[in-house]
Amino acid sequence: MSLVMRAFTQLYPEAPLTFIPSLEYSGQFKGYRANIRRRGSSIVVRLSKQWENISEDIQIGIIQELFVKLFKKKAHTLNMDLYHNFMRAVHEAVPKTQSHPVLQESFQRVNRFYFDGMIEQPNLIVKEGLRTLGTYEYGTDTLAITAALLEKTRLLDYVMFHEILHKALKYKSNAGRQHSHTTEFRKREQAYPHAELLEKELHAFVRSKQLSWF
Ligand SMILES: [Zn+2]
């Protein structure tokens, strides 16, 4: 039985198998990312290349997390625990070697104010472009923010807060995905002072930057 099939039948023993499962290891994903898609009568699970060398028990765990997300039907298995333990170990083993003075100041400010200084500093990197303002990747413990925000302290801190919140809430219901904006996430985000106004300012800022490129 294929890995995807095994993952499914162990997760939902009562459910009929109504799809054709397939599994691909993709070089397009970084770290330990993954996704799942329905394509007609088949369901395709795609895991990053790194997953190929990981034990099948742990792979079954991440595939099951993806199924839970796809079918929105909660279930819990030992394999899912194995997967979470594995990701925690990967996360803790990551060397923290990258930083940037402006991002570090912002990180320390936001960490002190909103997280009681309880968040361990991740790798901090500056990236080009505005396609995404910031990202946080759990597997490599890397928080990236666009260079365009370096001189916009208020907006920078707000985006920093958003990304630290990803780290604070960790991989919780975050199987292989970089972003997970759960209800809890949104609630905590909206508690940031003037969150609504800052959201508007951010959108206006992105728009103005894009127009100036023409
Ligand atoms: Zn996010």
pLDDT at 172: 44
Question: Same topology for domains 3-93 and 101-211, yes or no?
Answer: yes
Beta carbons of 64 and 79 less than 8 angstroms apart: yes
CA of 124 to the centre of ligand 1 (A): 16
How many angstroms separate the alpha carbon of residue 185 from the centre of ligand 1?
Answer: 9
For residue 73, give both structure tokens.
Answer: 């039907």
What residue segments make up the domains of the chain, in order of their start? Answer: 3-93, 101-211
CATH architecture of 101-211: 2-Layer Sandwich (3.30)
Q: Extract the tokens encoding 206.
A: 């992105």
Q: Cα of 159 to ligand 1 centre, how many Å?
A: 9
> What confidence score (pLDDT) does residue 124 get?
97
CA of 136 from ligand 1 middle (Å) equals: 8
Q: Which of 127, 139, 133 is nearest to 93 (CA)?
A: 139
Q: From the CA of 192, how far away is ligand 1's center (Å)?
A: 14
* pLDDT, position 173: 41
| pTM metric for this prediction | 0.71
User: What's the CATH architecture for 3-93?
Assistant: 2-Layer Sandwich (3.30)
Are 145 and 156 within 8 A, CB to CB?
A: yes
- Kindly give the distance from the C-alpha atom of residue 100 to the centroid of ligand 1, in angstroms, as a whole number: 21
Spell out where 27-98 has E strands: 34-39, 42-48
Predicted pLDDT at 30: 80
Mean pLDDT by runs of 10 across the 214 residues of the chain is 94 93 92 91 95 96 95 94 91 88 97 94 91 86 94 96 91 50 89 96 88 54
Residue 125 is predicted with a pLDDT of 96
